[in-house]
Each structure stands twice: as structure tokens, then as C-alpha cells.
């Protein structure tokens, strides 16, 4: 299969994953249910698995430079913009003082949830969905370092040690840039790398249309959802073994669906591949959305008499609306060259060193 065709399926999988992120964050009143667990089991592991799938050896300076341009700079832009807007809304609309140490802390700490830090203070504000960006920056570096070993068994042992370290840290506190999660997700990177080797041996078609494999993946996904919650940003789960198996199984299922869409629904494939290509930009826009509007939206819903009776319809409507306007705003903003460079260009603002 050609590179472009191969990438199309994986972009479609990324699109489905980012839409699952949006859906999950729109299920505020359903958190902790098996439906919410089903979504959160799948919406992020696939990104790490795909990164491992397309791993190729690079100089560490190139890994860092690309990560700064495509992950850290978007994180800082979105977080600064969010804090600025919340401050303006607080001062002129809500008449409260929003800006303080706690509200500024996520800009440096990169936490995606309120929690306790290992440094003796609580994290009462968070960076929203963009916590994922600095975490992936760290995770990419760690994976490229561990891949310097040429022995598969040694790599596996290192990943198990890193996973155990991350899980242990997560029991204690929430570390900067979700380092505990960055350590744990190495298992997804390694699975993605192994999956690429299997595909190279047997072909994408034989792997991603393998019905028994897809059924096993779906079973793991469902079992993960029924075993409890999975908070990847914290590195915590009610049943960590099932959470990891669910993350892997859901990725296999999403890739199988993506492969089917690419082969049979070309127009949908083209649309989703665009979304997947710019999925991290969608994540940034979505993070602003939930940070600024989520509490107001939920307050509006809960104040309506019909909400209790028709809450499922309301949630579905909210999910669809968010998917549509997040996609639309992404398309509009990426028409602006400077914004495209800031959020997408791997060689901007830092140029690749020769």
C-alpha cells in the first residue's frame, strides 16, 4: 500500500478519536457511567499507538524541535489565550478577580484536572484538554530514547518498568506535564510499533479486516468500559489492566473501521482524513470551548424543565453541535496562513537545523 493510502486510514482513525474526545467532554452528567467509560477508554490511546506505528529513528534535536513547534507552542498559545479571556470575562462580566497564582499555574504545570501536586500545594485550576500536548511532547522523547536499544525484549522490559513507575507516581500525586501518564503510555507506543511490524509482514488488509481480531478488540473495549473509569491524564484507572487492554482493543477497532471507511465511503473518508490530519488543532479549539462555555451550557440545560425528561436528546444535540462547529472553526482558522504556521508547520517558528 502506498504511504498516502496508509496515512488516510490513520487520519480517519485520528478523526474518530478526536470526535470521541469532544463527545466525552459533552457527557458531563453521564460521567462514571459505562457509556462515558466506553468513550474515554478509546479517545486518547489511539494517538499514542499511531505515533508508535509510524516511529522511525530521528535525531533527538529533531524530535524536540518538532515537538516544540507542533505541541508546546500550541499549548502555550491556547493556555495564555484561555487565561486572558477568562480574566476579561471575570472582570467585566462576572465582576470577579480571576487572575491569581492558581489560575496561572496550569500555564507552567500543564495539568488537565484539579488534583494534588507532589510539591505540597493543590491544583485548583487546570489547562483543559490541551494537557495532552506537553504530555505527548515528553512521551515522544521518552519513546525515542528507549528505542535506542536494539533488543525487543529489553525494550519491553523498559516499557514495563516505565509503566510501573508512572502508575506508582499517579497514586501519589499529579506531576507536571502529566509525567506519570507520559511514562504509562509508552506501552501504547510500543504496541503501535509492534503493530506496524505485523502489518509489514501480513499487509494492512489482512490485519485491519481480520474479524476475530476486531471482535477481541471490541470485547476488550467493552470489558474496559464496564470495569470502571480510566483517567489517562492522571494515570489512574479503577482497573488498570483492563484500561490498557481497552485502550489497545479500541485502537484496533477504530483502525478497522477507518480502513473500511477508506475502502467503501470515499467522500466520508476524505472529510474524516482532513479532520484527522488537523486533529490537534481541533483539540485546541475544543479545549477553549469546554473551558469557556461548558459550565454555562450545562447550567442552561439543567435550568430547563424538559431537560430531565429529554436529557439524552440534549446530550446528543450538544455532541453533534460541538463536533460541527469545532470542525467548522478549524477549517476557517487554518485558512489564515499565520495560524496554520503556528499550529501545523513542523518547521515554524523553530527551523530544522541541518
pLDDT given at position 264 = 94
In 10 A of CB 140, how many CB atoms?
Answer: 22
Around 207, how many Cα atoms within 13 Å sit in the side-chain half-sphere?
19
Q: 0.85 cut: is pTM over it?
A: yes
Length of the chain: 354
pLDDT of 296 reads 74
Q: What is the reported pLDDT for 250?
A: 97
Q: Kindly report the number of other CB atoms within 10 A of residue 312's CB atom.
A: 10
Q: Give the model confidence (pLDDT) of 62-119 as tens digits.
A: 999 999 999 999 999 999 999 999 999 888 887 888 899 999 999 999 999 999 999 9
Low-confidence ranges of the chain (pLDDT < 70): 1-6, 299, 302-303, 305-310, 352-354
Inter-axis angle of helices 3-25 and 240-264, to 10 degrees? 130
Q: Do 206 and 1 meet the contact criterion of CB atoms below 8 Å apart?
A: no
CA angle 123/296/181 to nearest 5° reads 35
Whether 133 contacts 71, CB under 8 Å: yes
26 touches 322 (CB < 8 A): yes
161 CB contacts (<8 Å, ≥6 apart)?
none
Q: Which of 256, 254, 264, 250 is nearest to 207 (CA)?
A: 256
In the chain, which residue ranges form alpha helices assigned H by DSSP?
3-25, 34-40, 45-53, 60-67, 73-89, 101-109, 132-146, 152-172, 179-184, 186-202, 204-208, 211-227, 240-264, 266-277, 279-302, 311-333, 337-343
Q: What is the pLDDT of residue 1?
A: 38
**CA atoms within 13 A of residue 306's CA, in its CB half-sphere:** 5
Residue 174's nearest CA partner among 229, 113, 238 is 113
Q: Given this model, what pLDDT does residue 352 score?
A: 66
pLDDT score at 316: 86
Give every CB contact of residue 9 below 8 A, 6+ residues apart in sequence: 204, 208, 255, 258, 259, 262
Cβ–Cβ < 8 Å for 335, 341? no
Note the pLDDT of residue 302. Answer: 65
Q: Do residues 74 and 66 touch, judged by C-beta distance below 8 A?
A: no
Distance CA 20, CA 125 (A): 24
Amino acid at each position: 500500500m502506498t504511504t498516502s493510502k496508509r496515512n488516510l486510514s490513520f487520519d480517519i482513525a485520528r478523526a474518530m478519536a478526536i470526535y470521541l474526545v469532544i463527545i466525552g467532554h459533552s457527557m458531563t452528567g453521564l460521567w462514571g457511567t459505562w457509556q462515558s467509560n466506553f468513550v474515554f477508554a478509546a479517545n486518547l490511546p489511539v494517538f499514542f499507538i499511531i505515533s508508535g506505528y509510524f516511529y522511525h529513528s530521528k535525531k533527538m534535536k529533531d524530535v524536540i524541535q518538532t515537538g516544540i513547534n507542533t505541541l508546546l507552542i500550541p499549548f502555550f498559545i491556547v493556555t495564555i489565550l484561555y487565561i486572558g479571556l477568562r480574566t476579561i470575562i471575570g472582570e467585566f462580566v462576572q465582576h470577579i478577580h480571576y487572575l491569581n497564582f492558581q489560575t496561572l499555574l496550569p500555564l507552567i504545570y500543564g495539568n488537565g484536572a484539579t488534583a494534588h501536586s507532589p510539591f505540597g500545594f493543590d491544583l485548583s485550576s487546570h489547562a483543559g484538554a490541551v494537557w495532552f500536548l506537553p504530555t505527548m511532547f515528553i512521551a515522544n522523547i521518552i519513546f525515542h530514547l528507549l528505542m535506542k536499544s536494539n533488543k525487543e525484549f529489553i525494550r519491553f522490559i523498559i516499557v514495563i518498568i516505565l509503566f510501573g513507575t508512572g502508575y506508582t507516581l499517579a497514586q501519589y500525586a499529579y506531576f507536571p506535564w502529566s509525567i506519570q501518564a507520559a511514562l504509562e503510555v509508552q506501552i501504547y507506543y510500543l504496541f503501535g510499533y509492534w503493530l506496524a511490524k505485523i502489518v509489514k509482514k501480513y499487509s494492512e488488509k489482512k490485519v485491519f479486516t481480520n474479524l476475530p481480531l476486531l471482535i477481541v478488540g471490541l470485547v476488550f473495549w467493552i470489558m474496559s468500559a464496564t470495569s470502571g473509569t480510566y483517567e489517562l491524564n492522571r494515570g489512574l484507572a479503577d482497573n488498570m489492566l483492563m484500561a490498557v487492554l481497552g485502550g489497545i482493543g479500541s485502537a484496533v477497532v477504530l483502525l478497522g473501521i477507518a480502513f473500511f471507511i477508506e475502502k467503501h465511503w470515499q467522500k466520508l473518508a476524505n472529510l474524516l482524513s482532513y479532520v484527522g490530519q488537523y486533529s490537534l488543532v481541533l483539540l485546541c479549539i475544543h479545549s477553549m470551548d469546554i473551558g469557556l462555555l461548558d459550565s454555562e451550557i450545562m447550567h442552561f440545560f439543567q435550568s430547563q424543565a424538559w431537560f430531565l425528561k429529554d436529557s439524552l436528546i440534549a446530550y446528543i444535540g450538544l455532541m453533534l453541535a460541538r463536533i460541527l462547529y469545532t470542525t467548522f472553526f478549524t477549517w476557517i482558522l487554518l485558512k489564515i496562513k499565520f495560524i496554520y504556521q503556528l499550529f501545523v508547520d513542523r518547521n515554524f517558528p523553530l527551523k530544522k537545523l541541518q
